[in-house]
């Protein structure tokens, strides 16, 4: 059973091949490179180094967002096209859950964070319960205040994961005190191996054609349009 994992949902890129529960090869970079240009060559190189061809792939795992809309679309487009044309199963995994899986064994809550600008973050809260990474607070688009408020309802320590935690460090420690722990550098990048670890425990997508990123936010134009519709309805 050979898994290909792809994560291009944010600035970092990670690709990996896992064979029968063993990591064969993984490439991860946090350099701001163009995913549209680099993702396919990275996959080609990975297979080449592993001495494999595309048809050897048995299943594909992809990071479905939230994060960069464009980034998530590139990974999802590549993954769904490969899965469909190779006739292999596809599993979409939350970008945040995969990041949380980097820090499975933390004794407390794990809060992956991706910066969403203007004081907002994409975040979720997870806990490793009886051998399974369990969602405690749903993935979503939160203001940092909202997120802190939600975390204040819990008493366990919170490990913040992700390279964007650094820019919110001061506020998190200010608000949560010693409960806030920031993950060290080696846990902060998305790892396609973590993605595959979660995907292997998950159901595959029933309809590959219909598979799209989990944006966790509607597009601005659509939000404005819905607002206008609401106004029109109010006017009756």
Partner 1 sequence: MTKDSYILGIETSCDETAASVVKNGTEIISNVVASQITSQKRFGGVVPEIASRHHVEQITLVIEEALANAELKPEELDAVAVTEGPGLVGALLIGVNAAKAFAFANGLPIIGVHHIAGHIYANQLMQPMEFPLLALIVSGGHTELVIMEGHGSFKLVGETRDDAAGEAYDKVARVLGLPYPGGPKIDKLAAESDGQVVFPRAWLEPGSYDFSFSGLKSSVINYKHNLAQKGEDVNPFHVAAGFQASVVEVLTTKALRAAKEFGVKQVIAAGGVAANKGLRASLEETFKTQDIPFYVPPIALCTDNAAMIAAAGSAMFIDGIRGNLAMNGKPGMPLVSWKQ
Residues 6+ apart with CB under 8 A from 60: 3, 4, 5, 6, 79, 82, 83, 88, 89, 90, 91
**Are the beta carbons of 12 and 71 closer than 8 angstroms?**
no
Instruction: Choose the stretch contacting partner 1; rule: CB under 8 A; options: 32-40, 106-114, 131-139, 186-194.
Output: 32-40
120 binds partner 1, rule: CB under 8 A: no
In the complex, minimum distance from the CB of residue 96 to partner 1, in angstroms, rounded to a whole number: 20
Residue 89: DSSP 8-state = -
80 binds partner 1, rule: CB under 8 A: yes
In the complex, minimum distance from the CB of residue 65 to partner 1, in angstroms, rounded to a whole number: 11
Closer residue to partner 1 (CB): 209 or 231: 209
192 binds partner 1, rule: CB under 8 A: no
Instruction: Choose the stretch contacting partner 1; rule: CB under 8 A; options: 21-29, 95-103, 168-176, 205-213.
Output: 205-213
Closer residue to partner 1 (CB): 34 or 202: 34
Supply angle C-alpha 145, 160, 93, rounded to 5: 100
**Are the beta carbons of 30 and 42 closer than 8 angstroms?**
no
Number of residues that bind partner 1 (CB under 8 A): 36
Crossing angle (nearest 10°) for helices 35-49 and 69-86: 40
191 binds partner 1, rule: CB under 8 A: no
202 binds partner 1, rule: CB under 8 A: no
Supply angle C-alpha 191, 195, 199, rounded to 5: 170
- The residues that bridge with 91 in the sheet, in sequence order, are 61
Residues 6+ apart with CB under 8 A from 188: 102, 161, 162, 163, 165
Among 16, 62, 73, 197, binds partner 1 (CB under 8 A): 73
219 binds partner 1, rule: CB under 8 A: yes
In the complex, minimum distance from the CB of residue 216 to partner 1, in angstroms, rounded to a whole number: 13
167 binds partner 1, rule: CB under 8 A: no
Cα 42 from Cα 47, distance rounded (Å): 9
52 binds partner 1, rule: CB under 8 A: no
Could you please report the per-residue DSSP string of 133-160? EEEEEEEEEEEHHHHHHHHHT--S-EEE
Closer residue to partner 1 (CB): 71 or 162: 71
**Are the beta carbons of 42 and 75 closer than 8 angstroms?**
no
185 binds partner 1, rule: CB under 8 A: no
Q: Which residues make up the interface to partner 1 (CB under 8 A)?
A: 34, 36-41, 43-44, 54-55, 69-70, 73-74, 76-82, 84-86, 208-210, 212-213, 215, 219-222, 225
């Amino acid at each position: 059973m050979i898994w290909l994992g792809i994560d291009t949902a944010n600035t970092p890129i990670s690709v990996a091949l896992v064979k029968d529960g063993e990591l064969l090869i993984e490439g991860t970079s946090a350099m701001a490179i163009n995913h549209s240009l680099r993702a396919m060559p990275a996959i080609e190189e990975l297979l080449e180094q592993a001495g494999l061809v595309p048809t050897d792939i048995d299943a594909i795992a992809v990071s479905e967002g939230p994060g960069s809309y464009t980034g998530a679309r590139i990974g999802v487009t590549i993954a769904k096209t490969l899965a469909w044309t190779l006739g292999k199963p596809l599993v979409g995994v939350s970008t945040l859950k995969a990041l949380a899986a980097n820090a499975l064994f933390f004794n407390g809550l794990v809060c992956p964070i991706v910066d969403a600008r203007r004081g907002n973050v994409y975040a979720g809260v997870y806990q490793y319960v009886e051998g399974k990474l369990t969602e405690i607070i749903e993935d979503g688009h939160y203001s940092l205040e909202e997120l802190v408020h939600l975390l204040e309802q819990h008493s366990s320590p919170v490990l913040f994961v992700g390279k964007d935690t650094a820019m919110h460090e001061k506020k998190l420690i200010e608000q949560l005190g010693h409960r806030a722990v920031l993950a060290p550098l080696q846990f902060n990048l998305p790892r396609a191996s973590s993605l595959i670890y979660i995907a292997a425990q998950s159901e595959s997508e029933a309809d590959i054609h219909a598979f799209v990123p989990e944006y966790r936010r509607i597009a601005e134009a659509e939000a404005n349009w819905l607002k206008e519709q609401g106004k029109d309805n109010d006017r009756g």
